[in-house]
Chains A and B, each alone.
Chain A
Amino acid sequence: MTGNQVLLQLNYWLIIMIMMMGFYVVLAHSNMIKKLIGLGIFQTSVYFLYVVPGKIIGGTAPIIASGYQVYSNPLPHVLILTAIVVGVATLALGLALVTRINEAYGTIEENDLYRPDEWRQ
């Protein structure tokens, strides 16, 4: 592909940017809820990764109708519905854990959880 064509793959650039943003948030922030948000952003980029190629150029909505031969692919949408549900469940579980951690430690900043000498062996 020529350089111009690479630059025009706008969708994929977007995907990569969002993926890395989410990844960065997970790594860089010590606030546990922010990490979970970063995780969510990371997962959203994956949703894009699936849905975007689903649209076929020249294809219509995937409902069988006379006169149309080319349809867009509905399968990625279905897959992503599943993935979204999984993401929601993970987020819910993560938030529940953060609530319990807050009760146990009094903080939700990972860096403040322990003094260095306190970690139980």
Chain B
Amino acid sequence: MASITPHFPILCVVIPLFGALLCATIRNSRATWLLAVCSALCSFLCAVFLLMHANDRVVSYAIGGWQSPIGIEYRIDSFNAYVLCLISGIGCLSVLYAPSAISEVSSFNRPWFFSVMLLCMTGLMGMAATGDAFNLFVFMEIASLSSYVLIALGKQREALVAAYRYLIVGTMGATFYVIGIGFLYVSTGTLNIADLTVRIAPIKTTAPVLTGISFLIVGLSIKAAIFPLHAWLPNAYRFAPIPVSAFLSGTATKVALYILLRFIFSVLGVQFFLGTFGLYEVIVTFSLGAILFGSIVAIFQKNLRRMLAYSSIAQVGYITLGIALANENSLTGSLIYIVGHGLTKVGLFFVAGSLLARLGSDHIADLAGAGRRMPWTVGSFIFLSLNMLGIPGTIGFLGKWYIALAAAERGSWWLAVIIIMTSLLALIYMGRFIESAYFSSCSDEKIKSQANSIPWNMGLSLAILTGLCIWLGIDTAILTDKARAAALLLLGANL
């Protein structure tokens, strides 16, 4: 065991990759499912190990033995490890959940499905683990291409169009990122992120660097679906198969936010970002726009999945608000929110998938009375909604509390008020579904006659997720300590 531990940074990326290759060669759909779950689980264990080891030091791994900054380096610090755990954990749960929820994929094609899921996971893990900017682009494209494929597997034909549009927009975003990196490379001569931090310091205000950073931020904002560059998200999440929606909602946007944070805080430094670059007002405006737009549009949606997609846009607004405020409390809040929202949204999509599988519909009107027929499933929906609302005792409250506190510390009282009041909007759109589930009785006889219990793997994934939310909401020290360590790392790295 002693000889394998230094390789964990690369293992957590490579295991899903090889899992994907193996899945593509095996023809049995059950076997590939088990293989996929196992690879994801191994990757998660590697990530947890890294989380425990990267507390106050950086784990560095040189690929192929070529030392940085010439070679490609995998650099795990406390911020990285945090995100790696999130991705692999959610990946594992989504793959566990998947088989009963992808009726649209024939069992002949299932091995390919799991292969592509693992490829997507590889891409996202690689994005989070790597310390080289171009390597990041490669993994970004691996993840993006896999997600285009996964989204296109949806049942309705609109899924194809949604995947195509996401392809166009997403490739533009990735290309913007590459343009940005191009300018930075030309100015500094290095692609290694840590080295870039050092070399960019004296030339931060020159035109090529500023241009490059602008392109970079716009490209990553497209990937993170930050308002107003969010247009690809609602359709993609609405029409993709449920495990795919769940997985992407919990990870894809979060990794893009991670990279944004990495570049803004670690490479550029918070003083430059807020001061010279002067983006505070812009980001705050767009964040508030995201929160209000996402929440208000979500209220009017008739389809449960589309409502959850717009809700995601709104929640990303809270995270970017925390980024804009840029002090210790707000970054802690944003990081807690990243994990919290990831877990919550994945759980909500899982519930939507269970309801779809058993009751045959994901329109809110068709799900009337579901609460009485599937009490535990809808019960966990209620609990996860409370998380989204920010009731004290939940992770959502923790994240919002820190961000609101940071706003108050800064003196922007109106911002703190808005953060708190907009939670009420979440009450409205979540409450609509809950009311419909418990109060109206179902009129469709066909739906009434369906079975009530969900398959064991769906139930297990949902239970693990809900349990995690409960645990992390109560024993907040775990999440808060790790988030605060990461926040301090980000703030202290470059002053």
Interface positions of A (Cβ within 8 A of B):
23, 26, 32, 35-36, 39, 42-43, 46, 49-50, 53, 76, 79, 82-83, 86, 89-90, 93-94, 97-98, 100-101, 104-105, 113, 119-121
Indicate if B138 sits at the interface (CB-CB under 8 A).
Answer: yes
Complex Cα gap A77–B176 (Å): 19
Shortest Cβ distance from residue A72 to the other chain B in the assembled complex, whole angstroms: 14
A39-B172, A46-B182, A101-B161 as given contacts; A90 in contact with B134, CB under 8 Å: no
Complex Cα gap A42–B169 (Å): 12
Is the Cβ of A90 less than 8 Å from the Cβ of B303? no
Contacts of B363 in A (CB 8 A): 121
In the complex, which residues 134-193 of chain B have their Cβ closer than 8 Å to any Cβ of chain A? 134, 137-138, 141, 145, 148-149, 152, 156-158, 160-161, 163-164, 167-168, 171-172, 175, 178-179, 182, 185-186, 191
Q: In this complex, which of B141, B171, B306 has the most chain A Cβ atoms within 10 angstroms of its Cβ?
A: B171
B interface, size bucket: 20 to 34
Is the Cβ of A101 less than 8 Å from the Cβ of B134? no
Complex Cα gap A83–B136 (Å): 12
Is the Cβ of A32 less than 8 Å from the Cβ of B164? yes
**Can you give 11 contacting A-B residue pairs, CB < 8 Å?**
A23-B172, A36-B168, A39-B171, A46-B179, A46-B182, A50-B182, A53-B186, A79-B134, A86-B141, A89-B141, A94-B168
Is the Cβ of B152 less than 8 Å from the Cβ of A121? no
Contacts of A121 in B (CB 8 A): 301-303, 306, 363
Q: 10 nearest interchain CB pairs? A: A104-B157, A86-B141, A49-B182, A97-B164, A53-B186, A101-B160, A121-B303, A100-B160, A121-B302, A50-B182
Complex Cα gap A104–B159 (Å): 11
Shortest Cβ distance from residue B189 to the other chain A in the assembled complex, whole angstroms: 9
Complex Cα gap A50–B134 (Å): 12
Is the Cβ of A90 less than 8 Å from the Cβ of B171? yes
Is the Cβ of A83 less than 8 Å from the Cβ of B178? yes
Interface positions of B (Cβ within 8 A of A):
134, 137-138, 141, 145, 148-149, 152, 156-158, 160-161, 163-164, 167-168, 171-172, 175, 178-179, 182, 185-186, 191, 301-303, 306, 363
Complex Cα gap A33–B280 (Å): 40
Contacts of A100 in B (CB 8 A): 152, 160
Shortest Cβ distance from residue A58 to the other chain B in the assembled complex, whole angstroms: 17
Is the Cβ of A43 less than 8 Å from the Cβ of B306? no
Complex Cα gap A36–B158 (Å): 19
- DSSP majority for the A interface? helix
Complex Cα gap A26–B169 (Å): 10
Is the Cβ of A43 less than 8 Å from the Cβ of B157? no
Complex Cα gap A98–B168 (Å): 12
Is the Cβ of B145 less than 8 Å from the Cβ of A42? no
Nearest B residue to A40 via CB reads: B171
Q: In this complex, which of B163, B301, B306 has the most chain A Cβ atoms within 10 angstroms of its Cβ?
A: B163
Is the Cβ of B152 less than 8 Å from the Cβ of A97? yes
Contacts of A26 in B (CB 8 A): 168, 172
Complex Cα gap A26–B360 (Å): 38
Complex Cα gap A90–B178 (Å): 15
Is the Cβ of B158 less than 8 Å from the Cβ of A120? yes
Contacts of B161 in A (CB 8 A): 101, 105, 113
Complex Cα gap A104–B164 (Å): 13
Is the Cβ of B157 less than 8 Å from the Cβ of A105? yes
Complex Cα gap A77–B156 (Å): 42
Contacts of B191 in A (CB 8 A): 79
Contacts of A42 in B (CB 8 A): 172, 175
Contacts of B306 in A (CB 8 A): 121
Contacts of A36 in B (CB 8 A): 168
Is the Cβ of A97 less than 8 Å from the Cβ of B163? yes
Nearest A residue to B167 via CB reads: A94
Complex Cα gap A89–B181 (Å): 21
Nearest A residue to B134 via CB reads: A79
Is the Cβ of B148 less than 8 Å from the Cβ of A93? yes
Complex Cα gap A80–B460 (Å): 45
